[in-house]
Amino acid sequence: GFVIFLYCESSCQKSFESLKPDLLIVLGDVSAKGSKLTKSKWVSVLHQFYQMLGPFVDLPFHAILGDRDIGECSDLDANNVNWISRKLPGLDRSGCGAFEIGNVSFVSLNSVALLCDNSSLRFDVEKVIERESLELREETEAATKMTNHSNLSRDVNYNFFWRESTVLSGSGPVLLLHLPLDQTRNKQYSGNDAFERSSNTFIERLNLVPKNRDFIGTGLYNLLHTLPLNASEYILQALRPRIIFSAHRCTFSDHVHFDTTREIIVPAMSWNARDDPGFVIATFQKTGKAVSIR
């Protein structure tokens, strides 16, 4: 199986040596105030970061961007994001990435950019979602043609965004985010038919906030520190993640979304955590979709 260390302190070195993980993933907030740093200070932070990796430094790893790294919408600058992304392995200029380890596919999104209206970075992230969704659908349709060629029917009026998907939940990539998805849908979910469908563009749907969202009772913090409900629903529908790993919270969470997608929220890697950062060990089975979390 495959083992992912999302983050582990030096005292976990024995676990590292015994488990021999294939990949290390850091879920953002490499810097406490990255959006305010000069490039020379960022170089110093990255040097400290690589030193902190210690025994994991030679392990393949992937780090995504957090809000502390690139700032909130008022601070978000595409040039800075591009510069920081080039210093971390596997990220494109918008702070997204896609890669495979063995038979496990991963997609990471710059979730901070999805909060920002009229941002060029947001449009770039949307394109990544569209590309990965299309690739997933094409792979599924190709497999369907091979197994059921005689019964295949083609829909010439194909609506990319809201067509009933033949891609099953959990059949997509492992999704990596800094900001968690919205979790309020479970409290009002009433089956697949309740999933919103419209002719609106993806951008318009991301801007929609359900009128009853303020009355769900999850608290102001949860509403401000997760992706919007419509963006979360679209990501689940478009990518059909096998499992989601996210961060940004101070506590661990194991949540199942309305479509049965599992999301593991790991305490964000932050200098505030000092000698007690959060980490998770995930093992992916070589066959099937099972993922065990420790």
Q: What is the pLDDT of residues 101-120, one digit of tens each?
A: 888 999 999 999 999 987 89
Instruction: State residue 16's pLDDT score.
Output: 64
Instruction: State residue 4's pLDDT score.
Output: 57
Q: What is the pLDDT of residues 159-169, one digit of tens each?
A: 444 444 567 88
Asked if the model's pLDDT at residue 274 lies above 70, the reply is no
Model's pTM, two decimal places? 0.78
Q: What is the mean pLDDT of residues 22-30?
A: 88
**Domain housing 78:** 2-149+157-293
Instruction: State residue 12's pLDDT score.
Output: 55
Instruction: State residue 201's pLDDT score.
Output: 40
Instruction: State residue 195's pLDDT score.
Output: 35
Instruction: State residue 13's pLDDT score.
Output: 60
Q: What is the pLDDT of residues 107-157, one digit of tens each?
A: 999 999 999 987 899 999 999 999 999 999 998 887 666 655 545 444 444
Q: In angstroms, how far is CA 27 from the centroid of its own chain?
A: 9
Instruction: State residue 102's pLDDT score.
Output: 82
Asked if the model's pLDDT at residue 210 lies above 60, the reply is no
Q: What is the mean pLDDT of residues 178-206?
A: 54
Asked if the model's pLDDT at residue 70 lies above 80, the reply is yes
Domain CATH number, residue 165: 3.60.21
What six digits make up the tokens of 146? 């091979």
Instruction: State residue 123's pLDDT score.
Output: 94
Domain count, the chain: 1
**Rounded to whole angstroms, how far apart are CA atoms 263 and 257?**
7
Asked if the model's pLDDT at residue 222 lies above 80, the reply is no
Confidence of residue 92 (pLDDT cuts 50, 70, 90): very high
% of the chain at pLDDT higher than 70: 67
Asked if the model's pLDDT at residue 204 lies above 60, the reply is no
Better pLDDT: 217 or 49: 49
Better pLDDT: 197 or 187: 187
